[in-house]
Amino acid sequence: MENRTPSVNEDGVEALLFRKTTGCFATGVAIVTTKVQGRLEGMTVNSLASVSLRPTLILVCLAQGARTTQAVERRGCFIVNILCEEQAWLSNRFSRPAEDHYAGVDFVLNEYGLPVLRGCIAHLVCRVENILAAGDHLIVVAKVCHAEFTGAAPLIFFRGAYARAEMNVKQEPPVADWYW
């Protein structure tokens, strides 16, 4: 019995069940931004994960065919802007494909001409290292070339809705001593 692997349909579990269940894993919210051929692109993501310390690598999973995915593939570098708790409106803005995402949005172009959104809790400057196709998404592994953070509180995404972190992130000690 213990050597058996789970048997699945070709598509795994039913899609809604999959969404609802993986949505129990609370995450932060970030916006991947880039600029290619003079055009600013950006999309909301919560599939961000830290991968490696030496070298410093992260991953994001980007939908195949999304405008920002194509722009990231073409440009080969991007910013991960990690949202603070007041920025749910930005998350909504950058998750709707038809809108002019950047209208009224405060941002600066950094030394590489990449858009850094103002007011975020943190941002990472990333260079694409590896792209792996996985189902309907691409797993983009990128080297972090520059990182900055502030003490602001994060925006949380849980069960398809935004939430705030209950702990006071400015006062609570980190869970693990090694973290800092």
Ligand X SMILES: Cc1cc2nc3c(=O)[nH]c(=O)nc-3n(C[C@H](O)[C@H](O)[C@H](O)COP(=O)(O)O)c2cc1C
Residues forming contacts to ligand X in the complex (CB under 6 A) are 29, 41, 43-47, 61-63, 66-68, 91, 95-97, 137, 157
- Which residue is listed with tokens 């073409």? 74
**To the nearest whole angstrom, how small is the minimum distance from the Cβ of residue 156 to ligand X?**
10
Residue 66 or 169: the one with the smaller Cβ distance to ligand X is 66
Residue 152 or 155: the one with the smaller Cβ distance to ligand X is 155
For 84, phi then psi, to 5°, come to -90, 170
- Tell me the three state secondary structure of residue 123: strand
Asked if residues 77 and 128 have their Cβ atoms less than 8 Å apart, the reply is yes
**To the nearest whole angstrom, how small is the minimum distance from the Cβ of residue 63 to ligand X?**
3
The rounded distance, in Å, linking the Cα atoms of 145 and 50 is 14
Residue 46 or 81: the one with the smaller Cβ distance to ligand X is 46
Residue 72 or 125: the one with the smaller Cβ distance to ligand X is 72
**To the nearest whole angstrom, how small is the minimum distance from the Cβ of residue 149 to ligand X?**
20
Cis, peptide link before residue 55, omega less than 30° from 0? yes
Residue 28 or 119: the one with the smaller Cβ distance to ligand X is 28
Q: Which residues pair with 152 in a beta bridge?
A: none
The rounded distance, in Å, linking the Cα atoms of 162 and 36 is 30
**To the nearest whole angstrom, how small is the minimum distance from the Cβ of residue 6 to ligand X?**
25
The set of residues, in sequence order, having a beta carbon less than 8 Å from that of 167 and lying 6+ positions away, is none
**To the nearest whole angstrom, how small is the minimum distance from the Cβ of residue 75 to ligand X?**
13
